[in-house]
A and B are shown apart, each in its own frame.
Chain A
Amino acid sequence: MSPLLNAILGPAITFLRQLPPLAYFSLLIIWFGIDETPKLLLLIIAAFPPVVVATVSGLNGISSDYINAARTLGCRKLSLISSILIPASLPEIFTGIRLGIGVANTSVVASETVNGIPGIGGIIRDAQRYNQTDVVLLGLFVLGFSGLILEFILERVQKVVTPWKGVV
């Protein structure tokens, strides 16, 4: 990680991370309306920081042993990135993706409940207006359960992609 890139990207990511998604979702609605576009953008913006933070920490945490071994085997800059740096930080990148998807998911739903945009969050908000406790509970259950499934799948994929995580 170059110090310059770190100096520019670091504060920008931290700035973004400190913003509650609800705050900038208002801006996205003003700019893009209430259809799917602002939701997509919200997903991306919310998921971005955890992935970047995890990737940077993954890259910084690579054992110099791997890099040194690769260099003595004739590995140079470009192949060092593709053969060593990326695979070595893959476990952390994956953890970042899992966190990012979680954050993105809850951000969108939370935004829906506030702004009443169609979706499960929107349904919960409408149900609250009419005091329909059962619908609110159902909505919450669906959200929790879908999160559970999503996490289960991601965990499985992570085990397949980075089986050495926690072993080495």
Chain B
Amino acid sequence: MNYPNPTSVQNFSDSAYSASTADASNDWAIEAINVSHRFGVGRGQRIAFANVNLTVKKGEFISIVGPSGCGKSTLLNLIVGFQRPSTGQIIVDGKRVVGPGADRGMVFQKHCLFPWMSVRANIEFGPRMSGINQSERRKIADEILELVGLRDVAKNATYELSGGMQQRAAIERALANRPKVLLMDEPFSALDAFTRERLQDELISLWTRTNTSILFVTHSVDEAVYLGTRIVAMKAHPGEVILDVQVPRNNDQDRSRESYQKDLQLQSLKEQISISLRTTAFRTA
């Protein structure tokens, strides 16, 4: 196996950071440097996670997997800018994160489409906020609607769509802004198994075509390995990165579900991650 011992935390050396921050045209999409986060104040204070270091290369698809309470969603909220880290800093595309912005698209567990707008208006919302004129907006939306087959429902109200369609539209709405990174917080966990598989496949194809960096939070190890090019596993109480491995894919072109299921290396990686998550859970429970 060419991935490290699951119990060891793979940290990047400090010199790697200084080198990357000195070079403005670095190829890091996201850099989380020594990030810790605490909830509450005084004696009730609780540590979400401590000293997390995470760097995401441009074009990388990182799956963050772990049990609830491991801080994976909190980490995403810090990167998107809803919250500020207690210590450490988060840099996206060379700029320090101080709040939410159009350069970081987000897809939530719930689709969060605006019901007072049509599907098309939802997708055009991001471009409209960044001041793109109407004809240009229409073009962007048309392209995107074509991409995932939402064209026929463009004029519909969002609540007339099925759950899968709604989540598709939510992904498209985030992508319409052409974000540097796409952050996804368990986006498929509320869907039925069939729809989930379809959307997973569509996401892979979207990612290969747009080459956006994706940070995908999930509690399913299977989903994490199937989608990601790199897996970050976290344990809970307190949150900590226990594993950071590259997914050893023989053939990056062949991303079919069949070959994934037949790939013994991937299946054993899945097993390995599950075991390390389980053992750390036992240790801390």
Q: Which residues of A contact B (CB under 8 A)?
A: 65-66, 68-76, 79, 83-84, 87-88, 90, 162-164, 167-168
| Additional A-B contacts beyond A74-B129, A87-B114, A164-B157 (5; CB < 8 A) | A65-B112, A66-B112, A70-B125, A75-B125, A164-B116
Is B144 an interface position by the 8 A CB rule?
A: no
Q: Known: A164-B115, A167-B159, A168-B115. Contact between A69 and B106, CB under 8 A?
A: yes
Question: A90, B116: Cβ atoms under 8 Å?
Answer: yes
Question: A74, B126: Cβ atoms under 8 Å?
Answer: yes
Q: Which chain B residues numbered 71 to 121 have a C-beta less than 8 Å away from chain A?
A: 80, 82, 99-102, 104-106, 108, 110, 112, 114-117
Give Cα A87–Cα B115 distance, bound, in whole angstroms. 9
- Shortest beta-carbon distance, B169 to chain A, in Å? 12
Question: A74, B130: Cβ atoms under 8 Å?
Answer: yes
Residues of B within 8 A of A168 (CB): 115, 158-159
Residues of B within 8 A of A164 (CB): 115-116, 157, 159
7 A-B interface contacts by CB (under 8 A):
A66-B112, A68-B82, A72-B105, A75-B129, A79-B129, A83-B114, A83-B125
Is B36 an interface position by the 8 A CB rule?
A: no
Is B213 an interface position by the 8 A CB rule?
A: no
- Shortest beta-carbon distance, B143 to chain A, in Å? 17
Residues of A within 8 A of B110 (CB): 65
Question: A73, B102: Cβ atoms under 8 Å?
Answer: yes
Question: B129, A66: Cβ atoms under 8 Å?
Answer: no
The contact of A69 among B99, B108, B157, by CB within 8 Å, is B108
- Shortest beta-carbon distance, A32 to chain B, in Å? 40
The contact of A72 among B100, B114, B116, B157, by CB within 8 Å, is B100
Residues of B within 8 A of A68 (CB): 82, 100, 106, 108, 112
Closest 6 A-B residue pairs measured CB to CB?
A: A74-B102, A164-B115, A72-B106, A71-B100, A87-B116, A69-B112
B113's closest neighbor in chain A, by CB? A69
Give Cα A76–Cα B100 distance, bound, in whole angstroms. 10
Give Cα A163–Cα B157 distance, bound, in whole angstroms. 9
Residues of B within 8 A of A167 (CB): 115, 159
Question: A74, B101: Cβ atoms under 8 Å?
Answer: yes
- Shortest beta-carbon distance, B205 to chain A, in Å? 23
Residues of B within 8 A of A75 (CB): 125, 129
B176's closest neighbor in chain A, by CB? A73
Give Cα A142–Cα B245 distance, bound, in whole angstroms. 78
Interface centre among A72, A88, A90 (most CB of B within 10 A): A72
Interface centre among A71, A73, A79, A163 (most CB of B within 10 A): A73
- Shortest beta-carbon distance, A64 to chain B, in Å? 9
Give Cα A70–Cα B170 distance, bound, in whole angstroms. 12
Is B180 an interface position by the 8 A CB rule?
A: no
Question: A76, B129: Cβ atoms under 8 Å?
Answer: yes
Question: A88, B116: Cβ atoms under 8 Å?
Answer: yes
Give Cα A164–Cα B118 distance, bound, in whole angstroms. 11
Q: Known: A72-B80, A74-B101. Contact between A162 and B116, CB under 8 A?
A: yes
